[in-house]
Amino acid sequence: MKIFSEELVAKAVEELHIADLSRATIGEVLLVAQYLEQATGIPFVRMDQGSPGLPVNKRGVEAEKAALDRGVGSQYPAAAGVSELKSEASRFVKAFLNVDISARACVPTVGSVAGSFGSFIACVQREKGRDKVLFIDPGFPIQKSQLRVIGASWKEFDIYNYRGEALREKLEEMLLSGDVAAIVYSNPNNPAWICLEESELAIIGELATKYDVVVMEDLAYFCMDFRRDLGHPFEPPYAPTVARYTDNYILMLSSSKIFSYAGQRMAMICISDKLFDRQFPALAERYNDSGVFGQTLIASILYMITSGCTASTQYAYAEMLRLACDGEINFVEDTREYALRTERMKRIFVDNGFHIVYDSDVTQRVGDGFFFTIGYGDMSGGDLLTELLYYGVSSISLSTTGSEQRGVRACCSRMRDDMYDVLAERMKAFNEDHPL
């Protein structure tokens, strides 16, 4: 039995001016869920927005307060970032990736969203005629929206059928035209939680070098592949990264999920030193500067977007990175709660007729983490999203992420202990009302 009537949901969609509920954005689904909750007092099982669901890292808060007490709020921060953060970011990359990137090439940004925005601009403008971005989907919809803002175009493909060695032929097909400036993906993946394996990253790195393409590797869920014990600094196993296989890369490291510091909007872009120092005549001509990639990105692009990053938050991030490198905090264990939540939620869905859409990597089943994907029979993602809303469960359609598969993305971060029984009851009703 449905909890919310079709008429009430239709009223919410109309009043919120949502053009197409089946293709609703994360923000639009969030608004619908809030509208229905407020109209009825009935709580939603919120699986839409990927916002952290764990307490903020207190050591970061303490460091930020101390920085403010020292008076850092009275001065503009350097565009390239405070030296303490740059040094700790370089050390963090070494500790958990075993990759060497100098402090000067580690640059703070106002969240990874600003990091990807600035990086897209630099990449598509660095060489005339090379102005497209290739998305290895499914992926983060906002990044395509960023390209719309700057008037850049993109190519995309769903990796579902191109795992392992099959990835090579598909990438070659997409890169042969010579117009691709950058490749972007997340690892672990938002929304599918698949993880690219070392063999696949080696293929991406090899072809990035061959075709001179910059790989933008989004590591928002850094070391959160809980199938492996990745939380020990300067000890293997190290997290997988394309940085081992090419010099053409930008790594995006966010504080939002691994330290639950999302509200302060702080991330790093860590640029290969060789790419950082490359000189591009097209950049020099456009910005009337040296055209050196790293300097142009910092001073002529990122500074124009945010004028630097909040100084006190940079000190907070620096301290959290330092503590992680020193082994005083274990952010991997701190975030393992997400895997426990997802395991319980998956079991409820599967017990009630749902299936996991992206269910495996090349050599093993997909792990449990921040996100997962579910399908139901042959329902399209848009239809499933809409039907789930009637039962008080919010999600987003996989079609909005570049996926060609039928289903929705679910996030576990807002799940509460008191809602598991509620979810089970609602999904039992869903299954009874939609016999397979």
Could you read off the pLDDT of 2-15 as tens digits, one per residue? Answer: 999 999 999 999 99
The region of weakest confidence among 3-17, 115-129, 292-306 is 3-17
Beta bridge partners of 158: 137
| pLDDT score, position 235 | 96
Instruction: State the chain's mean pLDDT as an integer.
Output: 96
Q: With 90 as the cut, is the pLDDT of residue 49 above it?
A: no
Q: Which fold has domain 6-54+335-433?
A: Aspartate Aminotransferase, domain 1 (3.90.1150)
Question: 276 pLDDT exceeds 90?
Answer: yes
Fold agreement between 6-54+335-433 and 58-325:
no
Name the pLDDT band for 136 (thresholds 50, 70, 90): very high
- Mean pLDDT to the nearest integer, 43-48: 94
Is pLDDT of 265 > 90? yes
pLDDT range class, residue 415, cuts 50, 70, 90? very high
Question: So what's the pLDDT on residue 1?
Answer: 83
pLDDT tens digits, 324-348: 999 999 999 999 999 999 999 999 9
The pLDDT tens digits of the residues spanning 145-199 come to 999 999 999 999 999 999 999 999 999 999 999 999 999 999 999 999 999 999 9
Average pLDDT over residues 370-374: 98
- Per-residue model confidence (pLDDT) at position 94: 98
* Predicted TM-score (pTM) of this structure: 0.95
CB under 8 A, 24+ apart: contacts of 53-57:
53/338, 53/341, 53/412, 53/413, 53/414, 53/415, 54/260, 54/334, 54/335, 54/337, 54/338, 54/413, 55/260, 56/259, 56/260, 56/261, 56/263, 57/259, 57/260, 57/261, 57/320, 57/329, 57/331, 57/334
Give CA separation, 165 vs 127, 203, 204, in Å: 30, 8, 11
Q: Which fold has domain 58-325?
A: Aspartate Aminotransferase; domain 2 (3.40.640)
What confidence score (pLDDT) does residue 146 get?
97
What pLDDT, on the 0 to 100 scale, is given for residue 223? Answer: 97
Does position 370 have pLDDT exceeding 90, yes or no?
yes
* Domain layout of the chain by residue ranges: 6-54+335-433, 58-325
For the chain, the distance separating the N- and C-terminal CA atoms, rounded to the nearest angstrom, is 16
Residue 357 has pLDDT above 90, yes or no: yes
Predicted confidence at residue 350, as pLDDT, reads: 98
The count of other CB atoms within 10 Å of the CB of residue 245 is: 19
Does 24 have pLDDT greater than 90? no
